[in-house]
Chains A and B, each alone.
Chain A
């Protein structure tokens, strides 16, 4: 279970998160929506443990463990996965080598055996096929030359290989065409399980038609200003954020 209490965070001295409270239980999917610049990606970086994002107040605990002193790779081994809004290209790093290194690093951190090369190859073949990630893409350096949509699919491929228990998807739908949106959503839905929590950040209701959330939050100016059921997303689609943003200003 993820518990965020009164979380305040800043980057380069700019206060961005201003008191977030959020509890995500195993098996739940929470959607976070909100205007540009409201702090959604910042929240995802703070959860993943990016260095220059400083928690100034409040706590993050996952399965009862305080995450404040844990580095990014330790959180990953503990189950955290962030599907980036803008996956970065890493020239010179072969995709397959990277995937295997990441998988084995996490296994090692958990005291498990490394995966054998044949088992790994088989696993990648299976999972990449389901997500329409071609062998040709896997032969390229990590994300290099991938189209926007290909990058997003590759992120979900990594997620399905690493089998995290806490998944944060930052605008995974942006840049996807209609078919890819369905393929990616199916990939995500397959990972839905009673012991896995997900946070889905999005601007659009249409993703939530495929990945149906249990709870929807509105983030504005670094705070959750409204929480509701899946119907809240429909309402936002119709009326926009004006109501919540104004409320905040008032």
Chain B
């Protein structure tokens, strides 16, 4: 009558234990019961590893050597924050998991309400994945953002998430409610001190009311040493246009998890992104898109450029429930591997329980097309430059599909910079 052998706790898990016990011992701790529940849910699973199917390609247990101390409250200088690169915006700054009003816009914006919270939320997702549970056990702070019904917010709302310091970890959560008929663009950046080793774990829930039009750009430009985990829970009403785009450039290890529920008819969801990976970076995008009702359309288009020994992971699952007739779901993953040691694991999947649907998925992987390269070099363009032109072209197709002019320029400037191609292509 032996209990199944328990996997031994890792150093990181032991550190987390100590952190949680210290946190919960604080008399002032809010929502202690909910935190305990989340902690128990985390403990039951431990840090995810390759034998957990959803984490098979991203063995966090091995990659997370230790859990850094919870980052303290602090206020860095305003000029270290990059955000949307100077685009005029309404700024919400979050430093080390906590709302930082000193660094945020202080005027009122019609139709927008931002409130600081303790970060503990009641969410069905909280027990779904160990890293969400961990977020909810240790969360340092949060905000709730409300966009009023029918508000047409002209300025982009910029959410700058900054982790200050090295060898620290930050846990933040965010609730976003977008009222029916609203129209809004969010630009959210995840960043930190250049070259600093830190861990950030963010959990965001977005609820979008009927007929709203939402563009959401995520810039993942964390320090090249950071570990970044972000989970998004997205619920879409009817006749919504929701467009999400991930620009993935930072972190030694990153994982974006998206849980998307299409709950109202006639909704379009566009989930797109580009990942630019080099050195030994590991970037994972994992998404679940659930079509629960008829006549919705979803697009999952991701492009990745992988150089050196970097590795990209894509797992995407489109689920079409029995009621979701006339679903149109298209998932396409395209990757350019620039070196022999670069790697991509792409696993697009469809689970279809309705009969009248149009769904497809696919993935392509390859090197730069030699014939395209020859065409450019035959016109006098040196090979290194021609390669950059073709990489930019590959990425820009995805960027344009996001259809948000204000972001296209920003994204193109960022990809050029990554390629060291600033002055390469004349206007």
Contacts and interface: CB of A to CB of B under 8 A. Distances in A.
A77 B380 CA distance: 6
A91 B397 contact: yes
Nearest to A115: B426
A130 interface: no
Contacts of B370: 51-52
Interface string A85-103: 0011011110001101111
Interface stretch (A5-13, A68-76, A185-193, A204-212): A68-76
B324 to A, nearest CB: 32
A129 interface: no
A104 B377 CA distance: 13
Interface in A59-84: 71-73, 76-77, 80-82, 84
Contacts of A162: 379-380
A49 interface: yes
A101 B393 CA distance: 14
Given A52-B370, A104-B426, A117-B427, A93 B378 contact: no
Nearest to B377: A72
Contact of B377 (A71, A92, A98): A71
Given A51-B370, A84-B375, A105 B381 contact: yes
Contacts of A139: none
A100 B380 contact: no
| Contact count band on A | 35 or more
A226 interface: no
B393 A90 contact: yes
B383 A92 contact: no
A50 interface: yes
Contacts of B385: 101, 105
Interface string B370-402: 111011111111110110011011111100000
Which of A88, A90, A92, A103 counts the most B-chain CB atoms under 10 A from its CB? A92
A100 B394 contact: no
B381 A92 contact: no
Contacts of A48: 374, 378
Contacts, number: 87
Contact of B382 (A73, A80, A97): A73
A202 interface: no
B261 to A, nearest CB: 33
Given A51-B370, A90-B375, A106 B380 contact: yes
Nearest to B384: A73
A51 B380 contact: no
A97 B380 contact: no
A88 B394 contact: no
B427 A97 contact: yes
Contacts of B1: none
A248 interface: no
A76 B377 CA distance: 8
Given A91-B393, A92-B393, A92-B397, A49 B378 contact: yes
A76 B380 CA distance: 5
Nearest to B375: A88
A98 B225 CA distance: 36
Contact of B389 (A51, A82, A93): A93
B12 to A, nearest CB: 42
Contact of A101 (B374, B375, B389): B389
B29 to A, nearest CB: 52
Contacts of B377: 49, 71-73, 76
Contacts of B386: 73
Contacts of A73: 377-383, 386
Contact of B380 (A84, A90, A91, A109): A109
Contacts of A51: 370, 374
Nearest to B370: A51
List of 9 A-B pairs having minimum Cβ-Cβ separation, nearest first: A92-B393, A76-B380, A106-B380, A72-B377, A102-B379, A73-B377, A105-B380, A93-B393, A92-B397
Given A51-B374, A92-B397, 13 more contacts: A48-B374, A73-B382, A76-B378, A90-B376, A90-B390, A98-B376, A98-B379, A100-B426, A101-B424, A102-B381, A104-B426, A105-B382, A162-B380
Interface of B: 370-372, 374-383, 385-386, 389-390, 392-397, 424-427
11 contacts: A48-B374, A50-B374, A84-B375, A90-B376, A91-B393, A92-B396, A93-B393, A100-B426, A101-B424, A101-B425, A141-B393
